[in-house]
Amino acid sequence: MTRNCFIEGIMIYQASFQSVKPKEATRKQWYELLKHLPDDQYLQAVNNVCAEVSDIYPTTNFAGLVLAQLTDNGNTGEDEKRWAAKKQRGDTIEKYRDGLRRKNPELNARFKKRVIDPLKAEMYLPTWETFIEPLVVVSNDNGQMVLFHDTAEWISEHFKADIEAMTKKPVTITSEGFRSMLFDVVQEGIG
């Protein structure tokens, strides 16, 4: 793709999402990720993004959106395999969460009432649905609460302080039990 075509696409994108003001370094990175595309494919993908995506945030990856449009429209067998693997992992995570909820139903009901439900009113709904609603209590022993989330590190970094303030106790957020279970499932499949 030519640099002029890339700039034209950025101008179309910024006209549709006026709050987007990428820095020069960001634009350079996007160009590096997209320069292999033919001009017409790139512009069509940018137009598709502008037509189909309703919410853009300052951290939204423009290059990722453009490439996703091309993948969605030219779905290859590899894309389908990746989607199937992602879905299977998601299903396995949900089964693990359900097991934890059944193991500690009263504890999870209290946590939902004290933390999950109040945060819903304070947060952007898709963020809450992705990061807060799926939290599950693993244990609450010796004044320490242990929670499960498959993206535990990110949750700890962004929400742990709020959760500790709401529960008034130290909180550990982990994905370890699930990772061990997933390892066992993989080992069974290999063996």
Average pLDDT score over residue span 151-155: 87
- Which one is the CATH code of 79-190: 3.90.1150.10, 1.10.3720.10, 3.20.20.70, 3.30.300.180? 3.30.300.180
Q: Sign of dihedral through CA atoms 166, 168, 170, 175?
A: negative
Compute CA distances 121 → 3, 117, 118, 127, whole Å: 45, 7, 6, 12
Residues 172, 147: contact at Cβ < 8 Å?
yes
**Boundaries of every domain in the chain:** 3-73, 79-190
178, burial (CB in 10 Å: exposed 0-12, middle 13-18, buried 19+): buried
Please choose, from the candidates 67, 26, 23, 24, the residue with its C-alpha nearest in 3D space to the C-alpha of residue 45: 67
Please choose, from the candidates 145, 162, 154, the residue with its C-alpha nearest in 3D space to the C-alpha of residue 110: 145
- Compute the half-sphere exposure of residue 24: CA atoms within 13 Å on the CB side of its CA: 0
Is pLDDT at 162 greater than 70 in this prediction? yes
Please choose, from the candidates 43, 44, 41, the residue with its C-alpha nearest in 3D space to the C-alpha of residue 6: 43
Is pLDDT at 32 greater than 90 in this prediction? no
Is pLDDT at 178 greater than 60 in this prediction? no
Q: Sign of dihedral through CA atoms 113, 114, 115, 118?
A: positive
Tokens of 149: 């989330």
| C-alpha–C-alpha distance, residues 59 and 26, integer Å | 11
Residues 65, 28: contact at Cβ < 8 Å?
no
| C-alpha–C-alpha distance, residues 35 and 42, integer Å | 9
More confident residue, 89 or 112: 112
The pTM (predicted TM-score) of the whole model is 0.53
pLDDT in tens, 92-114: 888 888 989 999 999 999 999 99
H helix runs in 123-175, sequence order: 125-127, 152-167
* pLDDT classification of 76: cutoffs 50, 70, 90: very low
